[in-house]
Structure 1
Amino acid sequence: MNLQKQRRKRGVILTPQGWQKLQTAKAEAEDCENDGIRYSLEALSFRIGLDSDTLCKVFNRQIGVDRSTLNRCFAAFKLLLDPQDYYRPQPEGETITGLSENIRKIRWDWGEAPESGVFYGRTEELSKLKHWIIEEHSRLVALLGMGGMGKSCIAVKLAREIQDRFELIIWRSISGCSAVNDFIAGLLKFFANDEETNLPETLDGKISRLIQYLREHRCLLVFDNMETILKGCDASYRKNGFCNCLGHYCEGYEGYGELLKRLGETLHQSCVVVTSREKPQEIGLLEGENLAVRYLQVKGLPAAEAQKILMGNGCFSDSPTDYQQVIEFYGGNPLALKLVSRTIQNLFAGNLSEFFKQKPGVFGHIRELLDGHFDRLSHPEKEIINCLSSNCQAASFTELRSQISPNISLSNLMESLESLTDRCLIDKDTPKFIEKGATVFYLQPVVREYAMSR
């Protein structure tokens, strides 16, 4: 028994200083070497030369690893591992003093939370989120939007600004995550200072134990990149030609839906924030204006804030119209603007006018970003996008119904439109110049250009 305890405590764990040092170097490498796109767990595994399970232990800082493992992680980002970057957990029963005692008092775990870096705008979004969480005590909040809109950065900024309102903060990236039973077990061990030994065997029991902690303590949990475990269009979900897969989970991950459902339905004093490119079905079923489950659709930055990204990356123009054209074309998407500004800097010496003369359209990582969205769509959804892109203007539901293929039924059209708005691929508006209550649907220019070039 003593030998087993010693094995569980063997190894070293990153200190907050060491973790921050490694995360900063990783963020800089992503910025300089990967066009600002975060490394996946697989990419990190290839770069460092360690398996994904070991990397999860390193970044989660709950289980000790060999010091040589930390050396490899630091060396992969051209860092030296200093003694103050790690500590050795004390065996059970011994008095913990100095650094280890301070670490045990820290009740946050930022996991793989990204560096927020230079943060532009989002004042209105942050204010609304704070109101929901602090004033209205929302239990489940989702940030939804296209890739690159900055959902994770907003979540980091939000968590850091309201962290003093909570006893515990936990950030978990769902990308590359294990089955839900192991996922919840990891959360429970953190709550119990890694001393939770008698965990319930069933998923229902584990969720109940988690909710018990969320009732006893004021906690903030962030589940990032939820879309990575959601299904794309799948033949098994097709019914009468329509792929009803939106918000459904990949095989083996269905338990996450039950977890979100229970977290949203059950009374507790904590808050769970979810980021996703698509809306999990539990959010759609539970959210409401006067309910404890809310969602915020994250859209592009306003022109003034988006222009700061272009200027901050060396782009210039004597004409305000040039800035406006680039921002409108890419829908104010922060990542798209960052990527395109590098191309403008590298090929056109930062000159926006010269860049726009070439009519470059959609290219590089921006095309890959949209590929990831479009590959998950059903046939009716693609038909709607093609219809809107060929018209080059907004269309009402009645207009779409008259122009779309007769093979798509009324119910399929309605379901597909809702699906596309939930996927944040089409926008909608109620212009003042048309009859009251009517809504028109339209594409951002970059999405239209992409659809026309496919």
Structure 2
Amino acid sequence: MSTIWAASEEGIQLVKTAIKSKGLSQTDFCKKLQTEAGISKSTYDRLCRGENIRLENLEVICDLLKLDVEKVKKILVSSSLESIPDIPVFYGRDKELAELKSQITNNQRVVIISGIPGVGKTSISVKIVNHFMEEQGKFKHFFWRDVKNSRDLKDLIYSILEPFVTEKELNEVHSSNDGGIFQLTKFLMKEPCLIILNSWNDLFKERELAGCYKEGFEDYGELLKRIAKINHNSCIVITTSEEPRELTELQNNSQIYSMKLEGLDLNNYQNLFNSIPNNSEIITGEVIDFCKGNPLAMRIFVNKCQSLLGDGKKININQLKTFFYDDWVELQYKRLSDIEQNIVDFFTLKNGVSKRACLFQEDNFNLLKTTYTDGDLDRGIYSLIKRDLIHIIEGDEIYYELNYYILNYVVVVLWTEEIKKIGTVPNTRIFDLQIPIEDVSILGDNQSPKTIDGIRREIENIIKDDKLTVSKKWDKIKQLQI
């Protein structure tokens, strides 16, 4: 922990009284400080004004005056930022940064920054911390915690309070029935804090609808509600790829603010590309469009290009789609519940877009209703919206659009590579159908294996054929051979 110290008001009076009791004037004491300890008059003046002073200098002054430094000092500003990441390159986000600074300055108690992985949530939260540390006055203490490293809420709160409260109060955290929330809120009411809780989505279960807490981590949801409702001058900022369910409950609370972070605009994205060495020949308009303004997507793409093709080599968009995907997309897909994966597969067959009005009228979707009700499907779609994997397009009619990365992941990785591997369409969840391997020719008509890229293009052409219903598209995909 990094701490900036000062003398408290009571401490300043103790110092002045001790100087007077020794029969010294302020001027005489300053000369003594300079002669015996090498401490300047300006340092003593800062102490008397309650401004920051190095702890070792404060200890020397107290030693000379035979004072207990613990009764004189106070924490002016402290920061516990040991795990905060370094962000050497940062472009754009001026509008978003200005809005977040304004909301926090105007005493928002909870700020939620959401968006798909890699879009820049952590980076912008680091900039927020740096801004308020430089503009001292709003907050006294700064904390950065990555919640994926937290065992439970009590441990998190204990680590925040430990330097500032008594042992008795710390014991109350561990013995409390609310995860230590009462002890934390009491501290926040007294000491203005900015707390960043990064990767909030790691508190949620996999294979469940969005925002469902893991067993033993439910107290985190209660923390958000209590922090939003209690009167104080602190702020908790969370970053997450899944909006917490508490946001819906608190959406009418003026003390909670939510920002969904979108991709970078074209100019700043181009600047980010240009900051990577030896990439000038790699960058094309197709590449920028494909990465959709996502900084992580860009870094993965450029690194793979340089590793597989060497520096300065161009790549076409079909190659890009074939080897672009990395763990960050796969992990997103694997976190989804069964119903969400079903819906993703359906939207993939619709080339990523469907009207809401006809969503539940498709002949193929009726087959899903043997397992799911309309309410189940609505909840699944809502969950995908909370994960930022389905977007709502409003106009004369409401459309849903599937996230571009997930759509291409299903085509390129799940379907294409599985067909290549086992000789048949994979057992995706749509309609729970699968063609037995023995019924599928392992070689094409010319007896030469098709490439993965060729399979992918066949699937894409079927998906993009607007003349086919979704069920007919699925039938044609099932008939693909390698």
Distance 1:126 1:106 in 2: 23
**CA 1:215/1:103 → structure 2, altered by over 3 Å: closer, same or farther?**
closer
Change (3 A) 1:450 1:309: same
Amino acid at match of 2:84: A
2:140 corresponds, among 160, 167, 172, to 167
Counterpart in the other structure of 1:133: 104
The residue aligned with 1:345 is 306
Q: Is it true that 1:143 corresponds to 2:113 in the alignment?
A: yes
Distance in 2 separating the partners of 1:195 and 1:110 = 26
SS of alignment partner, residue 284 of structure 2? helix
Does the residue aligned with 1:166 lie in a helix, a strand or coil? Answer: coil
Q: What does residue 411 of structure 1 align with?
A: 375
> Deviation digits for residues 88-145 of structure 1, max 9, x if unmatched?
xx9xx999999xx99965511113111121101111111111121112x211111111
In 1, distance between residues paired with 2:286 and 2:91?
19
After superposition, residues 163-312 of structure 1 pair within 5 angstroms as: 163=133, 164=136, 165-192=138-165, 196-200=169-173, 201-204=175-178, 206-234=180-208, 245-288=209-252, 291-312=254-275
CA distance 1:355–1:217, shift in 2 (3 Å): same
Q: Which amino acid aligns with 2:274?
A: M
Deviates more, 1:251-260 or 1:101-110: 101-110
1:383 aligns with 2:342: yes
User: Aligned residue for 1:10?
Assistant: none
CA RMSD of aligned residues (A): 3.1
2:124 counterpart residue number: 154
- Structure with greater contact order relative to length (CA < 8 Å, sep ≥ 6): 1
Give the 3-state SS of the residue equivalent to 1:402 in structure 2.
coil
Which residue number in structure 1 is paired with residue 87 of structure 2?
A: 116
Q: Which moved more, 1:168-177 or 1:103-112?
A: 103-112
Structure 2 matches for 1:27-66, cutoff 5 A?
none
Structure 2 residue matching 1:175: 3-state secondary structure = helix
TM alignment of 1:321-400, pairs within 5 A: 323-351=284-312, 354-356=314-316, 358-361=318-321, 363=323, 366-400=325-359
Task: Determine if contact 1:362/1:450 at 8 Å carries over to the other structure.
Answer: no
Question: Which amino acid in the other structure matches residue 232 of structure 2?
Answer: H
Q: 1:448 aligns with which of 380, 398, 407?
A: 407
Q: Is the 8 A contact 2:169 2:183 kept in 1?
A: no
**Other-structure match for 1:42:** none
Distance in 1 of aligned mates of 2:254 and 2:130: 25
Query: Secondary structure, in 3 states, of the residue corresponding to 2:89?
Result: coil
Please report how far the alpha carbon of residue 196 of structure 1 lies from its aligned counterpart in structure 2 after TM superposition. Answer: 5.0
Deviations for 1:389-446, whole angstroms, at most 9, x for unmatched residues? 2222522212322236221322122211111011111222224xxx1xx322213433
- Asked if the contact 1:139/1:293 (under 8 Å) is kept, the reply is yes
- The letter for the 2-side match of 1:291 is S
Distance in 1 of aligned mates of 2:166 and 2:92: 37
Letter of the structure 1 residue corresponding to residue 81 of structure 2: W
Aligned in 2, Cα 1:325/1:181: closer, same or farther, shift over 3 Å?
Answer: same
1:279-308 alpha-carbon deviations (Å, 9 max, x no partner): 1211232134x6111211112111111112
Offset at residue 166 of structure 1 (A): 1.0
Cα distance, 1:180–1:439 mapped onto 2, change above 3 Å: same
Q: For residues 139 and 355 of structure 1, do their structure 2 counterparts lie closer, same or farther at Cα, with a shift above 3 Å needed?
A: same
Q: 1: CA distance between counterparts of 2:311 and 2:166?
A: 51
Q: Report Cα offsets for 1:314-360 as digits up to 9, x if no partner.
A: 32249xxx6332122122110110111122233444547x3125533
Q: Which residue of 2 is the match for residue 36 of structure 1?
A: none
Q: Looking at CA atoms only, which structure, 1 or 2, has the larger radius of gyration?
A: 2
Distance 1:193 1:112 in 2: 25
Structure 1 segments unaligned to the other structure (5+ residues): 1-13, 17-86, 235-244
- 1:193-230 superposed Cα distances (whole Å, 9 cap, x missing partner): 88955535213383122111211222111111111121
2 CA distance for matches of 1:110 and 1:317? 39
Distance 1:120 1:184, change over 3 A: same
Are the structure 2 counterparts of residues 159 and 362 from structure 1 closer, same or farther at C-alpha, using a change threshold of 3 Å? farther
Structure 1 CA distance, aligned partners of 2:196 and 2:166?
19
Moved more, 247-256 or 400-409: 400-409
CA distance in 2, matches of 1:336, 1:216: 43
Cα shift at 1:192:
3.0
Q: Is the 8 A contact 2:352 2:403 kept in 1?
A: no
CA–CA separation in structure 2 for the residues paired with 1:283 and 1:397: 24
Q: The residue matched to 2:83 in structure 1 has which SS? A: coil
- Partner-residue secondary structure (3-state), 2:320: coil
Deviations 1:34-79 (A, max 9, x none): xxxxxxxxxxxxxxxxxxxxxxxxxxxxxxxxxxxxxxxxxxxxxx
Compare 372-381 and 341-350 and name the one that shifted more.
341-350
What is the rounded CA distance, in whole Å, between the counterparts of 2:167 and 2:86 in structure 1? 26
User: Out of 371, 375, 389, which is 1:425 matched to?
Assistant: 389
Contact 1:307–1:323 at 8 Å: present in 2 too? no
Q: CA deviation at 1:447?
A: 2.1
Cα distance in 1, alignment partners of residues 112 and 118 from structure 2: 16
Give ranges in structure 2 of 5+ residues lacking alignment: 4-55, 415-482
Question: Which residue does the alignment assign to 1:43?
Answer: none
Corresponding position of 1:50: none
Distance across 2 between alignment mates of 1:125 and 1:452: 33
Structure 2 counterpart of 1:227, one-letter code = N
TM (norm. structure 1) is: 0.68
Contact 1:181 1:203 in 2 (8 A): no
Query: What amino acid is aligned across from residue 90 of structure 2 in structure 1?
Result: F
